[in-house]
Structure 1
Amino acid sequence: MPSVCIQRVNSADATMRKHLRRLRCSCWLRSAAAVALLMLAWPVAVRAHFHFELVAERAEKLAAQAYQPPDPVPEWLTRITYDQWRDIRFRRDRALWRDTGLPFQIQFFHPGYYYRHTVAVHVVDDAGVHTVAFSPSDFDYGRNDFASRVPHNLGFAGFRVHAPINRADYFDEVIVFLGASYFRAVGKGQVFGLSARGLAIDTGLPSGEEFPSFREFWIVRPQPWSTDLTVYAILDSPSAAGAYRFLIRPGEQTRVDVEARLYLRRDIQQLGVAPLTSMFFHGENSPRPVEDFRPEVHDSDGLLLHFRNGEWLWRPLMNPRSLLIGSFRMQSPRGFGLLQRDRNFDHYQDLETRRDRRPSGWVEPLDDWGAGRVVLVEIPTKSDTNDNVVAFWVPDTKIKPGAPWSVRYRLWWYEEDPLRPPGGRAVATRRDRGNREDAYRLVVDFAGGELESIPADTVLHGAVTIASGTDSAELLDQQVVKNPVTGGWRLAFQVRPKRSEPVELRAFLMLGERVLTETWSYLLVP
């Protein structure tokens, strides 16, 4: 069977055509030998000279124009159910680059259900820039009976990249670009969980959130020996347009290098950079909101921050009763991420979703981001079908309309990493009402680093502080004991709030004057 059809770039891609013409004009040399040599090298030159600046130029021109929303798909397609949409599957034998010996293959998603507009997808290869053509024949519609109603020029909702990440003889899904500016990836042995986004605009603000969308993609055809795949994209929204470059390297930890250049159409109250989106329904630090056989249900269980001074801070996630927005000031951050630390299947008991295998997502700045803050938004949810956690960077620098603003960072998708953080870490947080009047008891288990090697008769100190101030709560007691089951150490303490407002807590373990663990941070909501 043939793979998906690709068509040469159309007249709408005049910018790309103009650049290719400039390349051709520059090839004329005086020497006939030099001309012959250049003609041999020409296919590689075309691919090599398609670069980020071309996409950025396109984004800048787009931002200078009034925003035009994407054309919607036929209205009847938006009314199909989730099960109907899932039953539409791209035919594997039509995958882009199938049976070519290349290290990557591309499959596509059908519009419908939540995915109400299409994206343009192009391929950059030795011959130039080509558009990937949509055809209903490339999809198996399963039990659905509406295949004949689908327009032949409909377009794709998104795409996914496949690579032999787990076995040399099988191409697994590695990264997916689907819906608004969402994309998500996995490392070896993982299943999809949290997502990243191209941009977050006014997330959690009373004015309401704006969701930018990727509108156009260019996928660079890899070489047979390539370990990376390059994807370019155009992002657009009423407030901004942007150019993106993704360098994707699958592996034990899948790495995605992101370069973005934004052009604002108007002032934005809160610009969220490198957003991560996840789900937390309930865990060991919270009661189950509904009767549920699963002890814990979450795709991520904490926010991890790495400060410029070397400090690591861990904030367990929660499903709050009302909207919670946390802000963590940082100067030149080394990184932040939403992690799934708990890898014990017995804590989830979910054979279908395997939340114990969901990836952690880590953002590593590739430049000095200066001053700003990481914002954590936690939204109440009554089910595990809603992503209710968002974390992103907000720079202090005010970005002005008309002036380009650039950012670079590296996204890691992984399961375990002993270097994040390199020392002891909080692996479980539990709470109850303790044994003191109007008090709460917090029990925090620490493990990792050198904690397991410290003898049980060693005296460790728990440095517990009430970060919200002693006028908000009082610390009643605390103790640190060796946990003979895990080999780590357990910190337990009780705190009594003095008013009905949330209490900000911090704690870490020390041996003498030496800090042994990351800083545990918790918001106690009475």
Structure 2
Amino acid sequence: MHRRNVLLGGSGVALSGLLETVLLPKAALAEGNDKQAAIPGPGPFEGSTVRRLAQALAKQPFKAPSTDLPGAIKSLTYDQYRGIRFRKERALWRDQKLPFEVQFFPRGFLFRPAVDIFEVVDGKATAVPYSADLFTYDEPNFRVTEPLGFAGFRIHVPSQGGGDSDELCAFLGASYFRAITKGQQYGLSARGLAIGTGNPKGEEFARFRSFWLEKPKPDSPALVIYALLDSESVTGAYRFTVRPGSATVFDVESVLYPRVDITEVGIAPLTSMYQLSPKDSRRFDEWRPAVYDSEALLMWTGQGEQIWRPLCNPVDLQFSVFGQANPRGFGLMQRDRIFADYQDLEARYDKRPSLWIEPIGDWGQGAIDLVEIPTANETNDNIVSFWRPKDKLTAHGEYTFTYRMHWAWDTPWPTQLARVTKTFIGAGTAENSRIFVIDLVGEAVKGKSADATFKPEITTSKGKILNVLALPNPETGGWRVSFHLEHGGDKLAELRCVLLGESGPVSETWLYRWTAS
């Protein structure tokens, strides 16, 4: 999943562009007309409009998007695409004293198909008009006067530091979108839906083909965005309520209408990059001590257990499944905020957001899946995580998933448990052994002396656990747990560690899949 340079440039993540839009007027919907209709002009819009469009579209055969572009911009390079810039003074709602404004992305490079964007004012939807004059061009011959349409958009809010405006979020490419809060740089992405992620046969990428942006009031604390999703297997209606603040919060209401049975669906999928940290450094000739947008998958299970699963860059693709019912939350986290741990002045991995998913309502039985894909560098998104329902989505059914997304520096909820801050791995003292060192920090262990009745509980699926040690770490004010895994030549072991006190766990549960490299 290719993205690094585009991400650094402030544009969105993409694999391919978006589908062309074919909307159905109300008459066609009411009659159950399965024929595709022309895009309507200005017309009524209400909360159920996109849902009815998605339901009707699901009854039609899927039509792939057009990727045709005029010859002048048919084969843009990354740098050439970057040279086409939106004129910020032409932003939608600019100079109207509103809390949000919208800028638009041009088509080209990886973002070839058009996506239609509508403004909703007083219950009426009107297409946002395209003009070549909305952009500046480093190379004048790339200025094409044909009505190309847009590839996506990004939302800005009034600057907190006296500047022009601050970027808040962006929707660009397939069903990808990203967000940040004050002081952050773009990192991981979210998607509307994942289908077949990690399947050797390849993944199906659903796309947001149309958006509706509700014009906010001057005192609106939130921006409402509607989106129509489409792919070979499914259509969907999405409603995003976006609220800036100390965290950027998305309330997401999604309704899915499968065209066919779907057995490998991912709800609230997250996509990130992990190349290396000190525990992986022996594999790379790299001057930086760490290179990653996210360092771990954090889960809060329906049973109340808080699990920290450090990410890895495996030799072979890894697919991990954490089965449970009604999870309280999960997310890809960036917990380490110390610049010296990365030493990258350009990428600033210390400023990448964490993204926490908070399910709302009953999600039932299922699993949080984690896909880790090998990568030799930081140019690829190689980490994906999502919720997978236990039961398949049945053709012609209707499925609703509601959740809250927190783009932030940390999780939105406090924890009384000590948290994992570091994981170190190295050669053990004996043959066929590895040493693991885990640092824990938090009020539950802060200032506790060696006399504290803490006991590590450590298990492994293969091999033996030896030389277990737990002691205070005066440098962090927390505790450190270390142990040896004597693997005896086995190539894989699932490890689990939790620090116990007199009345139960005093730390998160640390999980790790060790593999021989």
Q: TM-score, normalised by structure 2?
A: 0.90
* Counterpart-to-counterpart distance in 1, 2:123 and 2:194: 36
Which residue of the other structure, out of 204, 227, 235, is the alignment partner of 2:229?
A: 235
Determine if contact 2:456/2:481 at 8 Å carries over to the other structure: yes
What runs of 5+ residues in structure 1 fail to find an aligned partner? 1-10, 20-45
- CA shift in 2, pair 1:12/1:415, >3 Å: closer
SS in 2 for 1:287: helix
- CA shift in 2, pair 1:402/1:13, >3 Å: closer
Is 1:267 equivalent to 2:261 in the alignment? Answer: yes
Which residue of the other structure, out of 350, 365, 371, is the alignment partner of 2:344?
A: 350
How do 1:208-223 and structure 2 match up within 5 A? 208-223=202-217
Match of 2:4 in 1: none
SS in 2 for 1:452: coil
Is 1:473 equivalent to 2:463 in the alignment? Answer: yes
Is 1:409 equivalent to 2:399 in the alignment? Answer: no
Is 1:51 equivalent to 2:41 in the alignment? Answer: no
What runs of 5+ residues in structure 2 fail to find an aligned partner? 1-20, 30-41
Determine if contact 1:166/1:189 at 8 Å carries over to the other structure: no
How do 1:240-389 and structure 2 match up within 5 A? 240-287=234-281, 289-389=283-383
Q: Shift of residue 303 of structure 1? A: 0.1
- CA shift in 2, pair 1:263/1:127, >3 Å: closer
Counterpart of 1:486, as a letter, is: T
SS in 1 for 2:446: helix
Match of 1:500 in 2: 490
How do 1:366-515 and structure 2 match up within 5 A? 366-417=360-411, 419=413, 421-466=415-460, 468=461, 472-515=462-505
Q: Shift of residue 232 of structure 1? A: 0.3
* Counterpart-to-counterpart distance in 2, 1:422 and 1:280: 28
Determine if contact 1:175/1:184 at 8 Å carries over to the other structure: yes
Determine if contact 1:344/1:356 at 8 Å carries over to the other structure: yes
Determine if contact 1:73/1:112 at 8 Å carries over to the other structure: no
Counterpart of 1:372, as a letter, is: G
Q: Which has the higher helix share?
A: 1
Match of 1:100 in 2: 96
How do 1:26-105 and structure 2 match up within 5 A? 50-74=45-69, 76=71, 77-105=73-101
Q: TM-score, normalised by structure 1?
A: 0.88
* Counterpart-to-counterpart distance in 2, 1:407 and 1:113: 33
Match of 2:37 in 1: none
CA-to-partner distance for each residue in 1:110-140, whole Å, 9 max, x for gaps? Answer: 1111112110000001372110111111001
Determine if contact 1:245/1:258 at 8 Å carries over to the other structure: yes
- CA shift in 2, pair 1:125/1:18, >3 Å: farther
Which residue of the other structure, out of 486, 501, 524, is the alignment partner of 2:514?
A: 524
Match of 2:146 in 1: 152
SS in 1 for 2:53: helix
* Counterpart-to-counterpart distance in 2, 1:231 and 1:294: 39
Counterpart of 1:55, as a letter, is: V
CA-to-partner distance for each residue in 1:482-503, whole Å, 9 max, x for gaps? Answer: 1111111110000111443310
* Counterpart-to-counterpart distance in 1, 2:514 and 2:221: 46
Moved more, 53-62 or 215-224: 53-62
Moved more, 310-319 or 121-130: 121-130
CA-to-partner distance for each residue in 1:452-496, whole Å, 9 max, x for gaps? Answer: 132344242111111x2xxx2111111001111111111000011
Match of 1:8 in 2: none
Is 1:172 equivalent to 2:182 in the alignment? Answer: no
RMSD of equivalent CA atoms: 2.0
Q: Shift of residue 207 of structure 1? A: 2.0
Q: Shift of residue 258 of structure 1? A: 0.6
CA-to-partner distance for each residue in 1:130-174, whole Å, 9 max, x for gaps? Answer: 1011111100112x23234x2431010100000136336642110
Counterpart of 1:389, as a letter, is: I
Q: Shift of residue 417 of structure 1? A: 3.9
Counterpart of 1:326, as a letter, is: S
CA-to-partner distance for each residue in 1:435-463, whole Å, 9 max, x for gaps? Answer: 12210000000112322132344242111
Q: Shift of residue 81 of structure 1? A: 1.2
Larger gyration radius, structure 1 or structure 2: 1
SS in 2 for 1:356: helix
SS in 1 for 2:278: coil
Counterpart of 1:71, as a letter, is: S
Determine if contact 1:337/1:360 at 8 Å carries over to the other structure: yes
- CA shift in 2, pair 1:288/1:124, >3 Å: farther
